[in-house]
Amino acid sequence: MKLIRWQRKYLMQNILIAILLVALFVLLSVHAIPRETPVAVAPVEDEPAPPPPPVYELAPFEGRVEHIFFHPLIAYPERAFDGDYQAQGLDDYFVTAKEANALLDALYEKGFMLVDINKMFTVNEDGTLSQNAFLFPVNKKPLVISLDDVNYYEYMLEHGMVSKLVLDSKGEIATESVNLAGETEIRRDLEIIPIIDQFVKDHPDFSFEGAKGVVGLTGYEGILGYRTHADSPNRESEIEAVKPIINRLKETGWTFASHSYAHRNTPDLSYEVLLEDTRKWQAEVQSLIGPTPIYLYPYGSGLKVGDPRLSMLREHGFMMFCHVGVESYIKYTDSAIVLDRRHVDGIAFRQQRELNLDLYDADLIFDPVRDILFE
């Protein structure tokens, strides 16, 4: 019996020792495993929040709204002012990108602020039109900017302008063009639309309620650099390609206008020819951009109130008819709103400095590359 008790005691001691050894082994093993050094992760900094929108004191505005217009900008002056058969016309009627930037600075310094052209009038219940006394910031001057021929015709591509509007990697309106080295580039500093977009981003108080400007389109060579016209061999794919551009322009404060379909001098057209032109514009352009009440006369010369042709345009949805003059002018009638836009171009810079000093000083805007390349 004593032997058995001793054996049991010996067995229990061995079991206890074994358990202690296993526990010690596990403990030593855990401490022996190399541990990764913790890596300090820098906190991700959020992009700075955009500044809050400016707060203004508002009051009804019933005065004159200034209205200026551009053609597409000359992105590459070396191609425009090269002395060929197009050079003089480009000098007369177009503006360089450098001049456009200087002009925006001048307008901003004089207290101008972009406003949506559609705020200027009201459609009454009986269908007649009248002036709208819209609310506008006190101590600011309302300004409308319109752009003619934002189509990028074939001749433009050869004479210093960009090829088309596109979306850049951030989804913003940019331009595609072939530079002087023959390379295709996407940029936002060569055309007035992305230039204004950036200017408003940098100067929020240059735009009231996000307004930018009016994009005037013909139709005979498509729109915005895309060949969407009826006889284009790639019409369907071009239509699909331009839709995101149209949508983004609308989202960012741009509106559209008709500049006719074929860009012919309106007073010279018969009723029937103008009617056909209007129908083609609505079929090929309005079908893409939507209806618009704004009509920008080609060459700046238009029709008088009471002219049957003007009544026909009114019946097709147009209400505001924009001529070109040396000063802003507007006349409200029950049936139509008629106004003059002031042209911003080489003629204005070279010959009409005094007339435009309320907007800018041409001597400070003029790009000397015009004269250098003409020499």
Pairing of strands 213-217, 184-187: unpaired
Written as six digits, the tokens of 362 are 């041409």
- As a whole number of angstroms, the distance between CA 235 and CA 226 comes to 9
Token match 């729109």: residue? 223
- For 325-364, the DSSP string reads ESS-EEEE-SS-EEEEEEE-SHHHHHH-TGGGTTT--HHH
In a domain? residue 36: no
**Residue 349 carries which side chain, given as an amino acid letter?**
F
- As a whole number of angstroms, the distance between CA 351 and CA 155 comes to 26
**Which domain CATH number covers 213?**
3.20.20.370
Written as six digits, the tokens of 38 are 């913790």
Written as six digits, the tokens of 48 are 């700075």
User: Which residue range is the domain that position 320 belongs to?
Assistant: 64-374
In a domain? residue 3: no
Beginning with the edge strand found earlier in the chain, give each strand of the sheet holding 164-167 in spatial order. Answer: 164-167, 173-178, 184-187
In a domain? residue 159: yes
Written as six digits, the tokens of 41 are 């992760």
CA angle 209, 296, 362 (to 5 degrees): 75
In a domain? residue 17: no
Closest CA to 190 of 163, 154, 218: 163
In a domain? residue 37: no
In a domain? residue 142: yes
Q: For residues 190 and 212, is the Cβ–Cβ distance under 8 A?
A: no
Q: What is the dihedral of CA 149, 155, 161, 167, to 10 degrees?
A: 70
- As a whole number of angstroms, the distance between CA 167 and CA 326 comes to 35
pLDDT (tens place) for every residue of the chain, 375 residues total:
443 443 444 445 555 555 555 444 444 444 443 443 343 334 444 556 666 777 889 999 988 999 999 999 999 999 999 999 999 999 999 999 999 999 999 999 999 999 999 999 999 999 999 999 999 999 999 999 999 999 999 999 999 999 999 999 999 999 999 999 999 999 999 999 999 999 999 999 999 999 999 999 999 999 999 999 999 999 999 999 999 999 999 999 999 999 999 999 999 999 999 999 999 999 999 999 999 999 999 999 999 999 999 999 999 999 999 999 998 899 999 999 999 999 999 999 999 999 999 999 999 999 999 998 777
**How many Å is the maximal CA-CA distance in the chain?**
135
* HEC string for 57-70: CEEECCCCCEEEEE
Closest CA to 130 of 271, 375, 335: 335
Token match 């508002």: residue? 58
Burial of 298 (0-12, 13-18, 19+ CB in 10 A): buried
Token match 């500044």: residue? 51
Number of domains in the chain: 1
Written as six digits, the tokens of 208 are 């009231």
Three-state DSSP at 131 gives strand
Q: Specify the pTM.
A: 0.86
Q: For residues 275 and 234, is the Cβ–Cβ distance under 8 A?
A: no
In a domain? residue 41: no
b/e map 251-263, b = 16+ CB within 10 Å: ebbbbbbbbbbeb
* Residue 268, pLDDT score: 98
Token match 């480009």: residue? 90
Written as six digits, the tokens of 79 are 């191609």
In a domain? residue 52: no
Q: For residues 177 and 187, is the Cβ–Cβ distance under 8 A?
A: yes
